[in-house]
Structure 1
Amino acid sequence: MKYFIIILCSISLFVSCKSSDDQIEDMLSEYVKNIVKNPNSVDIHKFQVYDKVYNSEYRMDLPEKSKNNAITGKSDYVTFLFSAKNSDGIEIFREVSVYFDKTKKTFNSSFPENIDIENGNLSGTCKYYFGNLLTNWQIQNYCNDTNVTIMNVDTLGGRKKHITTVQNGTYEVNKIIPGKYFFKLINYNINLENVYGNYGNKKNYFMLGEIKKIMDFYQIYGREPYGYSDKKLFDVTIKKLERYQGEANETEFFDRDVIDIWKDFKKSVNHKFLDDFDIEDDYRYLNQFDNILIEPSIPTNHNIYIKNYFY
């Protein structure tokens, strides 16, 4: 009799948990189906409930994973992965967070706000400016003939690279799957060594600054999708650059210093990143790296204005 009761309790617990999972999955599915154009193709792959729990250290409510992954009075939002087919019949995957309303029976908002899966497009203008603060020399223009590369970094549906060129000061890329992308701009006609060398006496100091911009971008955005091949070397290199920035007036930097720092950067990061974005000696040319979100169904505008002041 004792074992019979235990078995009954186990079955009851299993059914209860399964029912809770089904309830959340149904809620998520219903939410997505009201948004996408092919609701019958919606598939919820996984989800995680987050509770709002008081943190005594920070003295405020903070999100925390639900231990039972079930809806309770503390439930705040759910992160989940879903897929559905867009108008072209292509299955698109998206990771989304949706926030409960007060009743905990439905959701009233999401992040990102637009979770549609239809293709988007990207366009924008591109300009640059260089100004020497001592000589008042300056030059500005549109970034014509600049190469623009974007690649998705949420790779649920595989990596997709788009490449275009700036013409008449503008660029455009169409039919882009929505999601997070890295954006790289580079113009091989604008050699920064020539710019800094002709109009300043601290060329290599400013070249090191160009490397630091790229390393700062990677440190903030690249570590999650790509990671490092040598994290210790990366940390040592960026600390060295930070020290160099404070020695601008005391230290003379040489071409060898710049080349060695760049080599260490390339050794320290994931080589997949270097291959994906065709990175060779990018610091020598007009460049910019950005992290952008391509919105579905509506145009995404990303204007570039690179301003470099030196002395």
Structure 2
Amino acid sequence: MKYFVIILCSISLFVSCKSSDDKIEDMLSEYVKKIVKNPNSVDIHKFQVYDKVYNSKAGIVGWDKSKNNTITGKSDYIIFLFSAKNSDGIEIFREVSVYFDKTKKTFKSSYPENIDIENGNLSGTCKYYFGNLLTNWQIQNYCNDANITIMNVDTLGGRKKHITTVQNGTYEVNKIIPGKYFFKLINYSINLENVYGNYGNKKNYFMLIEIKKIMDFYQIYCRELYGYSDKKLFDVTLKKLETFSGEGNETDFFDNDVTDIWKDFKKSVNHKFIDDFDIEYDYRYLNQFDNISIEPSTPTNHNIYIKNFFF
């Protein structure tokens, strides 16, 4: 009889936990179904409840994962992964945060705000400006014939790359899965070594600054997605660039200083990044790396205006 009671309690506990999970999945599913065009295709893959926690010693409010992954009075939001089929019949995955209302029975908002899964599109204008602060020489124009590459970094249905070119100062990419993307523009017709060499006394200093821009982008946005092949080498290389830029352009740098720094950068990062974005000698040409978000069902505008001042 004793063992029967223990087994019965265990079954009861299992059913209770299972029903709690089902309840949360149902809440999430109903929330998503009101938004997507194919509600019957919605599938909740995983979720995590987060509680608001007050740290009395520090006097601050923070958030922790719910230990039992259940909804309580402390629950503040849920991060979950779902998929559904868009109008083209393609299964799209999105990770979303949803925030509870006061009753804890429904959600008042989400991040991102628009969690639809329909394709979006991207367009914008591309311009550049160079100005020599000593000679007052300047030039500005559209980035015609520049190559643009975008690649998704948060969708789980497979990596997708889109490539286009700038024509008449504008570009456009259609039928893009919504989510976060890395954006690269490069114009091989504008050689920065020529620009800085013809109108500046310290060409290599400014070439090192161009490398630093790319490394800063990698450190801020790419490290979580791609990681490093040699983190120590990356840190040492970036530290050198920070020291060089702090010295100003009074220091003479040589061509081999620039090429050695660039080689070390390429050795230090994940080679998948090099392959994904066709990285060769990007610092030598007009370029721009960005982190952007593609909104579903609506046009996303991303204008590029590259301003380079030198002396």
Per the normalisation by structure 1, the TM-score is 0.97
Rounded Cα–Cα distance in structure 1 between residues aligned with 2:154 and 2:113? 17
Per-residue CA deviation, residues 32-72 of structure 1 (Å, 9 max, x unaligned), is: 00000000000000000011111346xxxxxx111100000
Q: C-alpha displacement at 1:248, in angstroms?
A: 2.1
Q: Deviations over 1:230-254 (max 9, x none)?
A: 1111011101100111122552111
Q: CA deviation at 1:282?
A: 0.1
Give the superposition deviation at 1:154. 1.4
Superposition pairs for residues 11-30 of structure 1, below 5 Å?
11-30=11-30
Q: Name the residue aligned to 2:95.
A: 95
Query: What secondary structure does 1:155 align onto?
Result: coil
Corresponding residue for 2:61?
none
1:9-38 Cα offsets, whole Å, 9 max, x none, are 211211111111000000000000000000
Q: 1:249/1:307 Cα in 2 relative to 1: closer, same or farther (>3 Å)? A: closer
Query: Does 2:212 correspond to 1:194?
Result: no
Question: Whole-Å Cα distance in 2 between the matches of residues 12 and 207 of structure 1?
Answer: 68
- Judge which range, 113-122 or 242-251, deviates more: 242-251
| Distance (whole Å) between structure 2 residues aligned to residue 254 and residue 229 of structure 1 | 27
Unaligned runs of 5+ in 1: 58-63
Distance in 1 of aligned mates of 2:180 and 2:164: 18
**C-alpha distance in structure 1 between counterparts of 2:168 and 2:93, whole Å:** 35
TM-aligned CA distance change 1:152 to 1:9, over 3 Å: same
Q: String of CA shifts for 1:57-112, please: whole Å, max 9, x gaps.
A: 6xxxxxx1111000000001000110000001011010100000000000110000
CA contact (8 A) 2:202 2:249 kept: no
Deviation, structure 1 residue 212: 0.4
Percent identity between matched residues is: 90
Show structure 1 runs of 4+ deviating over 3 A: none
How far is the alpha carbon of 1:155 from its aligned partner?
A: 4.1
Mean alpha-carbon deviation: is it higher for 4-13 or for 184-193?
Answer: 4-13
* Superposition deviation, residue 7 in structure 1: 1.7
**Unaligned regions of 5+ residues in structure 2, if any?**
58-63
Structure 2 match to 1:2? 2
Q: Is the 8 A contact 2:205 2:249 kept in 1?
A: no
Q: Residues of 2 paired with 1:80 and 1:151: CA distance?
A: 23
Is the Cα–Cα contact under 8 Å of residues 94 and 155 in structure 2 kept in the other structure? no
Distance 2:77 2:3 in 1: 39
Shift of 1:5: 2.4
Which whole-Å CA distance do the structure 2 matches of 1:202 and 1:303 have between them?
30
Distance of 2:250 and 2:35 partners within structure 1? 60
Q: CA offsets per residue over residues 102-147 of structure 1, 9 Å max, x none? A: 0000011000000000000000000000000000000000000000
Q: Distance in 2 between matches of 1:250 and 1:33?
A: 62
Matching of residue 171 in structure 1 with residue 171 in structure 2: yes
Partners in 2 of 1:248 and 1:94 — Cα distance?
Answer: 45
Q: Hey, what's the Cα distance between the residues in 2 that align with 1:237 and 1:226? A: 18
Q: Helix, strand or coil for the counterpart of 2:69?
A: coil
Q: If the length of structure 2 is used for normalisation, what is the TM-score?
A: 0.97
**SS class of match (2:247):** coil
**Superposition deviation, residue 3 in structure 1:** 2.4
Contact 2:165/2:171 (8 A) holds in 1: yes
Deviation of the 1:4 alpha carbon: 2.4
Residue-pair matches, total: 305
Return the offset for 1:224: 1.2
